[in-house]
Structure 1
Amino acid sequence: MHKPVWFPKQEQMEQTRLYRFMKRLGFRDYDRFYEQSIKNIAWFWDEVVNDLGLRWMMPYRQVLDMSDGIAWTRWFVDGKINISDNCLDRFVEEPAARHRLALIWEGDDGTTKKYTYRDLWLEVNRLACGLKKLGVAAGDCVAIYMPMIAENVIAMLAVARIGAIFTPCFSGYGAEAVATRIQGCQAKWLITADGYLRRGKVVAMKEEADRAADLSPSVEKVVVVSRLGRDCPWNPDRDVKWDQLTAEMKTLSPAVTDANDPFMIIYTSGTTGKPKGTVHVHSGFPLKAAFDAGYAFDVGPGDILFWVTDMGWMMGPWMVFGTLLLGSTMLVFEGTPDYPIPGRLWELTEKHGVTHLGISPTLIRALMKHGTSWFSQRDLSSLRVFGSTGEPWNPEPWHWLFEQVGGKRVPIFNYSGGTEISGGILGNHFFKPIVPCGFAGPLPGMDAEVFDDQGKTVRGEVGELVLRQPWVGMTSGFWQDARRYEDTYWSRWPKTWLHGDWVIVDEGGQWFITGRSDDTLKIAGKRLGPAEMESVLVDHPSVIEAATIGVPDADKGESAVCFVVVRGDGEEVQSLTEELVRFVGERMGKALKPKRVHIVDELPKTRNGKILRRVIRAAYLGENAGDLSSLENAHAVEKIRRLAGV
């Protein structure tokens, strides 16, 4: 059994929103409250909506409807709600809240800008009016490929205000990866920027956006923010300046949208095929994000949440909607946490009074190398919680963050779920002791269990993480691909969501994630399907076929290693490996480029032609590859072992 190192104090518990919520509902014991939250999920989420004070244009008549099956649960039936209205108008109309800080932006160069709720509301209205004038209508898809600037947040809220749907794209993606997402939802509009700063250098973004638009016939207009004021290619028939689009100060009433109308399609990678477009609705993702932020992390008015992320990853929109629905403040940061000094992250925390700091184990491993001097002279007294997501911890960086940076005062709230979840399945909070690298258990409303291969609950051994009931925020399927959604999550056991994580619960009731049960990679917390990288590789004229695996990496947690079969032979072929690494980096973004590319004669395949990545990974890492009886060419495995020197 693992021993806790942080224990909540009674006064800490009693100051939390979750405690007040529990007390109002007649609970003082957390375990009893959790059991009731999964015993009666309709009651639970109804109470959450009331406690958050959400504003409905038309009240719902039923909390949930599972008549089409658990996989297609509909929430807040017949309710009308617009999430932009609830994030902004609700507070702007309240004299005590309208001048409260909503967003702080800091650029790579230290430039800072602040927006109150009213400031943000005004900018969102300007853009919403401009987009509507441009032809954006309810139900249309708008791709957002922007750096971490305030306009990214404004764009999301403006699109939602119209009743349209936005698709956020990682700012580090190359054109092909952006185009895949544009094409997936047939977006007619692309919002981007001329560029941004990273480590003091200009990153040209408009050029990549142009290439993505050229690859996407659906794109009619490209809206461009002048972040840097740089000269860049301009297509007068397609390009529109953000400043011109937002020149008029007009207001636009929020569209009356159904609770189950989509407002966001965010793509997440799987182990096979193209990225999956997870569909999120007005009464789903934002509500789950706000619940987790407000009741697990205890974010509220006066708090400043800073999650080191990108808007193309789930935690970006999570931060936006989680903070704004709670009337609190987000910090959006364009730069990197260790530039121009290794202590930039701690400088930001001190400068802006950050109360909730969200990081990844990869980031902490990188900052550890610089020692303690960079934070020891900083005033970090504002910090109340470290949030952590993206990948499992290893003990050394966890203890360094908790003991050295946080002085054993600031708890590390592990948080794990996913894009399809809209937040967390497992987490820590102020009601349970914290064990290094572990989770206190499932969050309220999340009926999670650990199943063995027979679908039976297990303790003390590794099993599959599953959910046995629906929850607010669950993806409303994949965009125009219902069967793939059902096959991915609902096909193994009846009425049971299979999440794809290996989990173990120890005898003390602490939960630990041991890794993915499928082939999905997590590179520095960024989820990547091998098929997406393989598709880029086979676009190279020399590559016939490819396979990608994830291997442990001391800095990133996991890195991609690729195996390719190529045309030709000899020295000319061997010189391709570095070129292929660059080739992938240019198209997918430097952050996702593979650690290494190996050229092989053939890839291990089953008799029906399926490439077995599991076998490749095991052979490369010198692990037991398991049953190879289904392989057509078992000798290929031995060649990979020799390649790795094992």
Structure 2
Amino acid sequence: MSDTDSLSSLLDTPVVPLRPEWTIPDRVESLAAARALGGPDAYWEWVANQQRWSTPWTTVRTGEISDFRYFEGGRINVADNCVDRWAEDPATAGRAAVVWEGEPGDSRTLTYAELADEVNRLAAGLLGLGVAKGDVVAIYMPNLVEAFTAIHACNRIGAIYTVLFSGFGEEAVASRIQAARAKVVVVADAIYRRGKPIELLSTLRAARDRTPTVEATVVVDRTGNAVPLVDGEHAYAAVLESGAAGTPAVPLDPNEPSFLIFTSGTESRPKGVVHSVGGFLLGTWANAHWQAGYEPGDVYWVAADVGWLTFPIQAVVGGLACGMTIACYEGALDTPTTSRFYEVCSKHAVTKVLCAPTLLRMLRKFGDDLAAAHPLPGLKLITVQGEPLDGDTFGWATSTLDVPVVNAYGQTETGSTWTYPVYGAEDIKAGSVGTPVPGHAYEILDDDGNPVPPGVKGHLVLTAPFPTLARTVWDDHQRYLDTYFSRFPGKYATNDEAVLDHDGHIWVLGRADDVINVAAHRISTMEIEAVVTAHPGVVEAAVVGVPDDTKGTVPIAFVTLASGADADAVRIELDTQVTGEIGGYARLAAVHVTPSMPKTRTGKTMRRLLRDVIVHGGPTGDTSAMEDPSALDAVTAVVRGS
């Protein structure tokens, strides 16, 4: 069986037509108008005209994909567009901007007027601590209201921010603050996760001897314990008070650095990916506009961690730039009970949800009875990104929750998702990422850089610049050029494999480095994974390739089973299923049944750690983004006991 044949079931996935009740005629018309604008530059000019500028631009774009600038001569401020312009309008000043709930059940709501006031005071307070335009502020906290205010306070004064994942330990925090050369850190004293407080301030203090650039720390009293502060630490409330007079929003060049976000992955040195002021604002406004779309009365729950770029894209910047009401939740969605997701949706009248596919798989695992006991008649949309969406989970969510499921694709480096079926306007397919939204151009290439026809997988690249594409790697521009533009000169390499089906839908198959060679047969582990997850007894799966003396590489599956599934029977059936649908060369060398898998807090399965357990007996790379170390312990125990 050829590689093309192994994709046949995927490529034959039928279109799910847009139901009449899912169709929004105004969006159908506006999308058609956007696609008819005459090319990416004309489209981005239209997007720019939806924002408020301090100074008009003179040129839409100069340069090409690895070296470009947008809206030369213009000046803009992100906080002004995301907060001030809504607070100044009597029609929207009283609209809820952020609806927050903590894991213990406490909650807080800020209107746009209230958010603008707190951002303004915090911005002035940061200036009082010596933060100037171009200085770096590190934000080390979970999903709190103060994450919104801290980010936009930086935006207001032109400081560069970097959000540190609240699950990071001492070494990860120290290395990132040191690399960013942060001048100030905004930190919560602790967070609540799975029913207990996890200290952040003490972790930061332990890292301070390795962060000499930090001159001040702003401490948010999340727990109400009034932790005694030491020299250089300032209470968040006191900083707000010191900035009571406020400060004007600073007009900024749209190409200036706005923030940096560190990626880790398999590399020993995390990359500080840099996004621009105007580019990120424009691109994320467009992203939130098409992927979720503001409708009167909406409450948009971005069920992601603020340390995952999705949260700034869809909530803090893109969502607020669209004038949306953003729901924000602090803790774990299975705490204190498995009904927490449904309870949050009901309590806050959530109409739209963005999450990783892992959340839907978790809800599916919790069962239909739980979903039936918590109906959500006001829910209109679920959109997912971050990991491949399997067809069974798509089918369960669309039928059980009775909403369209929009599957989107993007990367930290692209600064937004750029291909997905536009909500309310386009048909969907179970697992595909639809078609590129306006303003983006792509190709799928073979190893020699030649475009491949539909039905043939290849390397996914972007062929034209767009505003949210990362501009550089912090302190290492050559690394930026080498990582993203050397493989296919003149094109941005996503380093993902993809295939275009005959309906024009893109299917992202996974990382190109997850393509394995089994006895001279090349296959993506994601293709095998799709077959494994189709088994009714499998709730979640991850397939990795490991070295083999005879075949070079062989696939191994890790699976979490549905309640009542027989592990031995599933192993036998998976062998038949994989070899029958793909071919004997794809036979699983082992199937490890595990109660949980190592994940980031954003829900991404850390497949490289699974591979490490098989090959090395334990992790060899960065584990700082892992949410629950006990999951890796469980996997290790299963492998050693097999």
The TM-score, its normalising length taken from structure 1, stands at 0.79
Kindly provide the CA deviation profile for residues 379-432 of structure 1, in whole angstroms up to 9, marking residues without a partner as x: 41222211101111222222221212x23xx11110111111111132122333
Q: 2:373 & 2:394 partners in 1: Cα distance?
A: 21
Which residue pairs with 1:382 in the alignment? 378
Residue 135 of structure 1 is matched in structure 2 by 130
Asked whether the 8 Å contact 1:300–1:326 carries over to 2, the reply is: no
Offset, 1:243: 1.0
Q: Number of matched residues?
A: 547
Corresponding position of 2:30 = 20
2:427 aligned with 1:433: yes
Which whole-Å CA distance do the structure 1 matches of 2:204 and 2:228 have between them? 11
Where 1:328 maps in the other structure, the secondary structure is: coil
Q: Tell me the alpha carbon deviations over residues 59-108 of structure 1, each in whole angstroms, 9 at most, x when there is no partner.
A: 00001110xx4212101111100100111111122111111111000010
| Distance in 2 separating the partners of 1:178 and 1:20 | 44
CA-to-aligned-CA distance 1:303-325 (integer Å, 9 cap, x gap): 22112111111111112111111
1:293/1:238 CA distance change after superposition, 3 Å: same
Give the partner amino acid of 2:379: L
1:6 is the counterpart of 2:16:
yes
SS of the residue corresponding to residue 110 of structure 1 reads coil
Gaps of 5+ in 1: 26-32, 523-529, 531-548, 566-573, 600-641
> 1:358 touches 1:388 (CA, 8 Å); kept in 2?
yes
Deviation of 1:164 (Å): 0.4
1:394-543 to 2 correspondences below 5 Å: 394-404=390-400, 406-407=401-402, 410-429=403-422, 430-458=424-452, 459-518=454-513
2:381 pairs with 1:371:
no
Tell me if 1:561 matches 2:605: no
Contact kept? 1:338, 1:367, Cα under 8 Å: no
> Structure 2: any 5+ residue segments left out of the alignment?
1-10, 516-524, 527-543, 545-554, 561-595, 598-604
Report if the CA contact (8 A) 1:307-1:359 is conserved: yes
Alignment equivalent of 1:90, drawn from 85, 104, 107: 85
Answer whether contact 2:40 2:438 (CA < 8 A) is retained: no
Q: Which residue of 1 aligns with 2:99?
A: 104
Q: Tell me how large the CA RMSD over aligned residues is.
A: 3.0
Where does residue 349 of structure 2 map in the other structure? Answer: 353
Residues in 1 aligned to 2:486 and 2:634: alpha-carbon distance in whole angstroms: 34
Q: Distance in 1 between matches of 2:255 and 2:175?
A: 25
Q: State which of 592, 595, 602 in structure 1 corresponds to 2:632.
A: 595
Distance 2:477 2:412 in 1: 17
Residues 2 and 343 of structure 1: CA distance in aligned 2, closer, same or farther (over 3 Å): farther
The equivalent of 2:241 in structure 1 is: 247
Q: Distance in 2 between matches of 1:368 and 1:81?
A: 44
Aligned partner of 1:344 in structure 2 is 340
Structure 2: how far apart are the matches of 1:466 and 1:21?
24
Q: Which moved more, 1:237-246 or 1:356-365?
A: 356-365
| CA deviation map 1:255-294 (0-9, x unaligned) | 1211111111111225434111111111112221110111
- The answer to whether the Cα contact below 8 Å between 2:254 and 2:276 also exists between their aligned partners in 1 is yes
Distance 1:203 1:596 in 2: 20
Conserved? CA contact 2:304–2:356, under 8 Å: no
Does 2:40 correspond to 1:45?
A: no
Q: Aligned AA for 2:181?
A: Q
Counterpart CA distance in 2 for 1:381 and 1:562 is 42
* Contact 1:564-1:597 at 8 Å conserved across structures: no
Aligned with residue 226 of structure 1, among 215, 221, 224: 221
1:61-210 correspondence to structure 2 within 5 Å: 61-66=58-63, 69-210=64-205
Distance 1:286 1:563, change over 3 A: same
Give the match's secondary structure for 1:63.
strand
Q: Which amino acid aligns with 1:79?
A: G
Q: Confirm or deny: 8 A CA contact 1:186 1:218 kept in the other structure.
A: yes
CA shift at 1:296, angstroms? 3.1
Structure 1: how far apart are the matches of 2:187 and 2:178? 16
